[in-house]
Amino acid sequence: MTGRTPTGGLIYGVRLRSESVYRYVGLTTKTARVRLRQHLQVAGAGRKTPFYDWLRKQQREDLIVDPLDWTDGLDELGEAEIAWISLLRQEGHPLLNLAAGGLGPTGVVWTAEMREAARIRSTGRKMPSRFGAEAPFYQRNHSAEQRAKWSVARKGTNVGADNPNYGKFGADHPSFGHVMSEEAKAKLSEQRKGAGNPNFGRSASAETRAKMSAVRKGRPKPSSKRSAHTRHHTNRGIKKDTCQYCIEDSN
């Protein structure tokens, strides 16, 4: 069975059962009930718009979706939505539509007031976490071009006091108490082996070696491997199966 391209559609309005004014007008090539169900799914996923913010606060049984108009052509459908939004706004309906309606993007540009209102609505909101196949970017990768753009844009940012975690230690640091699982450690280790290591094939420059030497100058060091073993293992009560001196001492 082959799918058919819709040639017409429906204009619908969403309101509360207890009110006669509409809060949203939309268009669809499906039924009004199906479209409302889709809106509820999007709202549950956390999309931030005035309509979805309002929708999340309502009970499903309190919502009514009314068919307002029907057209036989898609072009007429977009024009009908524009006309209905304009008409209802003139009649005082508190519509939450961001755009004036119509098919396709309408180039809505948020004002400073709209952004501030959205910020206030979203403050403190707990967003549902989506993992695996439910995540919108699941099994997708950013292009090398996009990563290069981000690299250039972020170069030199979050350095020193500009870093949001600058000066945070212990329990004040957001990563405090976080422990990677053995599985995550193994995966990270595998990713950084060979060519995956950011320092693969690189060697320190003469300038870097000179700096490292200057920093370490005067620092007491073990005179031999045996002395290092005594300092770092024997004196601390540590035994390692990979240390030849630990093995010798235990025999």
For the segment 46-73, what is each residue's pLDDT rounded down to a tens digit?
A: 888 889 999 999 999 999 999 999 888 7
**Domain formed by 9-122, architecture:** 3-Layer(aba) Sandwich (3.40)
Q: Are 34 and 28 in contact (CB under 8 A)?
A: yes
Say yes or no to pLDDT of 156 above 60: yes
Say yes or no to pLDDT of 23 above 90: yes
The C-alpha torsion from 164 through 165 and 171 to 174, rounded to 10°, is 70
Q: Are 95 and 54 in contact (CB under 8 A)?
A: no
Amino acid letter for position 40: L
Q: Would you call 64 exposed, middle or buried from its count of C-beta atoms within 10 A (0-12, 13-18, 19+)?
A: middle
Say yes or no to pLDDT of 107 above 70: no
Say yes or no to pLDDT of 201 above 80: yes
pTM: 0.44
Task: For residue 35, give both structure tokens.
Answer: 């479209």
14 falls in which pLDDT band (50, 70, 90)?
very high
- The residue-averaged pLDDT of 228-237 equals 86
